[in-house]
Amino acid sequence: MSKLIAAAAIRGAHKIIGRAEDKFKEAREKFGENQDLEFPNTGYYLPIIYGMLGYQVKKLKDVPYVLDMCKRLLPPLVRERHSLPYLAPTLDAGMATLFAEEVMEAIRYVEQPDFYVKGEEPSDKNIWLGAADDIILRKRGVEFVDGTAPGFAAIVGSVPDDETAKNIAMELLEKNLYVFMASEFQGKQFANQLKNAGLQLGWPTRLVSFGPDISAAVFALGFATRAAMSFGGIEPGDFRKILIYNKDRVFAFVLAFGYVNDEWYANAAGAINWGFPTIADTPIPEVLPTGICTYEHVVSNIAHKDIVQRAVEVRGLKVTVAKVPIPVSYGPAFEGERVRGEDIYIEAGGGKTQAVELLRMSDMTAVEDGKVEVVGKEMKDIPVGSRIPLAITVQVAGRKMQEDFEPILERQIHHLLNYAQGVMHIGQRDIAWVRIAKQAVDKGFKLEHLGKILHAKLHQDFANIVDKVSVKIYTDDAPVKQVVEEGKKVYKKRDERLEGLKDEEVDTFYSCTLCQSFAPNHVCVVTPERPGLCGAYNWLDCKASNEINPTGPNQPILKGEVLDQVYGQWKGVNEFVQKASRGAVQAYDAYGVLRSPMTSCGCFECIASVLPLCGGFMAVDRDFKGMTPVGMKFSTLAGMVGGGNINPGFVGHSKFYITSLKYLSAEGGLKRMVWMPKQLKEEIMDRLKKTAAELGVPDLPEKIADETVGTTEEEVLQYLQKVNHPVLSLPPLF
């Protein structure tokens, strides 16, 4: 810390804490001390305060404790001559600043409920998103887990012009980083500059406009803090672990654009506690010695064209950027960007025309690697705003390629195409839907490039099993129909293959420890009838992944001796789990929830919970924001279940697993399912009906209550009795 920075940061902290005190008094006067105080839809209260102090701010009356802590942390101003050591006091002042700002932002939610928009994306009138709720946290957190997003850039201020802002943002996105934005400089805000430059703001595009004030920095650091608690399984109040976790795993940094005032310094000092350095475009003093951050703490006077590269180096981040021979930017950061109506150059699928994709393996000799053919019209022949039929067929060959891997590779088409800027891809198989933006076509994007992407990326990501790839793209009706016909046959065969697979029929399960980067003790065991709780990895995926990367996160587990057929315990599995969890978990049940259910990292699609009064289970998915009969919202449940711990009575799982015959089968299985959100039920209805029929309760789906029936156990129980739910005839659960 240079003395100038320390002095400024501590001054800034004094000001901000003073403001928070005033704000609090004002709010108490106006709303009374029993006024609820919270960020919307989160189980982590005010997350920085909760993470660092383990203290739950729920009401205004909880604030004095926090402000008192701020004052205890707040050091005296730095003396000009013979100053006392200031690094530690500055870091403390920074932390106190963040506590105070969290309080102020929470009060803002009370005072101006519409100051921030709700959800993932800005509205036309308001670009400010405010605190991320737990749904966003979990959805986006997964990207930090699997490395598709290595970290984030927290941008404060603004740059001289919109074009520079856009260039910086694009460079960050190309490095797969999230862009978090707060505050302003000279009346301009970076987020607005991006909007002016035509970029879409919001979580899906990774351009997150938190708020117009510097205090919105707490939304970024709160997100990081929650990630440590949610995915890292670190207890609230275990501040040291939370901060080190962020330093080692979340590669974030602050970009300060414009004059760095005392308040900015105070926030930057706070961020250093997380190991997040500041890189500035102005000539402020630098802090180069290392220690709290991985490398330098403050680096300054960097030109805009160099600042992203420099920031990445300062943070110590190695970015592996996919090299794809196309004329637009490419990377996971562009996955969430949409191509809107007025921007469409061509559109295929989506109910208007037919779009289909099919990946098949062939003999080595039959595939000419790198060949991309467009049969029919190319972009130049298609007028702007057209709807076209489209078939993308991929031929793959490889010595280690198996037919089982086809669907896995085919499923990659979705995100691989989506990664291209200006390309939007939805769906799969014969319900694919593709839009290509005018802006991409302006840059020279052709249909051929869809093939180039697939060729390059399948080679990069699946080098172990893929030796040759060729792509054929059809844009005329007849051949597209032909592909659809062929596809339907193939899809059916594939579905049968996976669905037919029983746990008992294989001697090997697969582990998934992908999330250990975030939840160090968590181990998923994936069986044919129980996919990974994130819904992204089924048994075949893991098998393929292991072929592709034999030392990777998916390892074969020989089941070995069956210890408990009913609950699903095997000697080999237990041994593996013990080792892979570093002794934290001794054994768990694959098919039960009551005794010791499988651990959860935090990426689960759903959480199942026991409803004791009903003697049954409920399952809630993360998109459901309402109250559930167990008395907790998904976000609260998720806080309890995640982090790699065994929580009897609760378990995280995928949507698919609900319709598995092995779904909590040790304790009665699907027959005990008494409540699900309506939307979830509808989403899995086809399979739900099928499984219910197999279990001999074909009318089960309509007997499962949902939020329209009730969100208390009493209401659910009444309903069960009314419809004579099969659970009533089962033996008691306890």
Partner 1 sequence: MEDKKRSIDPVVEPLLEKAAREGIKTAWDRLKEQDPQCGFGQLGLCCRHCSNGPCRIDPFGEGPQEGVCGATADTIAARHFARMAAAGTAAHSDHARQVCATFLEAAEGKVPGYGVKDEMKLYELAMDLGIEVANKPKQEIAIEVGKKAIQIFGSQEGEIFLTKRAPIKRLELWRKQGVVPRGVDREVVEIMHRTHIGVDQEYHNIIQQAARCSLADGWGGSMIATELQDIMFGTPEPILSKVNLGVLKEDQVNIIVHGHEPLLSEMIVVASRDPEMLALAKSKGAAGINLAGICCTANEVLMRHGIPLAGNFLHQEIALITGVVDALVADVQCVMQSLGEIAQCYHTKVITTNYRAKMPFASHIQFDESNPLESAKKIVRTAIENFPNRDPRKIQLPNDKDASCELIAGFSHETINYLLGGTFRASYKPLNDNIINGRIRGIAGVVGCNNIHTTQDIAHLAMVRELIKHDVIVLTTGCSAMACGKFGLLTPEAMQYAGDGLRSVCEAVGIPPVLHMGSCVDNTRILMAATAVVKEGGLGDDISDLPAAGAAPEWMSEKAIAIGMYFVASGVYTLFGTNFPTLGAKNLTKYLMEEIESAYGGKWAFENDPIKGAHKMIEHIDKKRKALGLDKAKERVLYDMAMRRDLG
Q: Which is nearer to partner 1, 40 or 316 (CB)?
A: 316
406, 393 contact by CB (below 8 A):
no
Q: Which is nearer to partner 1, 518 or 675 (CB)?
A: 518
Report the nearest approach of partner 1 to the CB of residue 332 (Å). 12
Report the nearest approach of partner 1 to the CB of residue 244 (Å). 7
Side-chain half-sphere exposure of 343, counting CA atoms within 13 A:
18
Q: Which is nearer to partner 1, 78 or 397 (CB)?
A: 78
The DSSP secondary structure of 189-219, one letter per residue, reads: -HHHHHHHTTPPPBGGGTEEEEESSGGGHHH
Q: Which is nearer to partner 1, 191 or 312 (CB)?
A: 312
Q: Which is nearer to partner 1, 99 or 663 (CB)?
A: 99
Q: Which is nearer to partner 1, 408 or 519 (CB)?
A: 519
CB atoms within 10 A of CB 537: 22
607, 619 contact by CB (below 8 A):
yes
Residues that bind partner 1 (CB under 8 A): 1-3, 6, 52, 73, 78, 81-92, 95, 147, 150, 239-240, 243-245, 248-249, 251, 273, 287-292, 294-295, 297, 312-313, 316-320, 516-517, 520
User: Phi then psi for 604, rounded to 5 degrees?
Assistant: -55, 145
673, 616 contact by CB (below 8 A):
yes
Residue 194 token pair: 């991006």
Residues 6+ positions from 402 with CB-CB distance below 8 Å = 361, 465, 544, 547
Identify the CA nearest to 10 among candidates 242, 263, 384.
263
Single-letter residue type at 40: P
CB atoms within 10 A of CB 113: 10
Residue 495 token pair: 């579905």
Residue 528 token pair: 């044919």
Q: Which is nearer to partner 1, 317 or 490 (CB)?
A: 317
Identify the CA nearest to 142 among candidates 467, 602, 616.
602
C-alpha–C-alpha distance, residues 279 and 706, integer Å = 50
Q: Which parts of 583-646 fold into alpha helices (H)?
A: 634-641
Q: Which is nearer to partner 1, 190 or 245 (CB)?
A: 245
Q: Which is nearer to partner 1, 2 or 200 (CB)?
A: 2
Q: Is 83 helix (H, G, I), strand (E, B) or coil?
A: coil
Report the nearest approach of partner 1 to the CB of residue 398 (Å). 23
CB atoms within 10 A of CB 484: 17
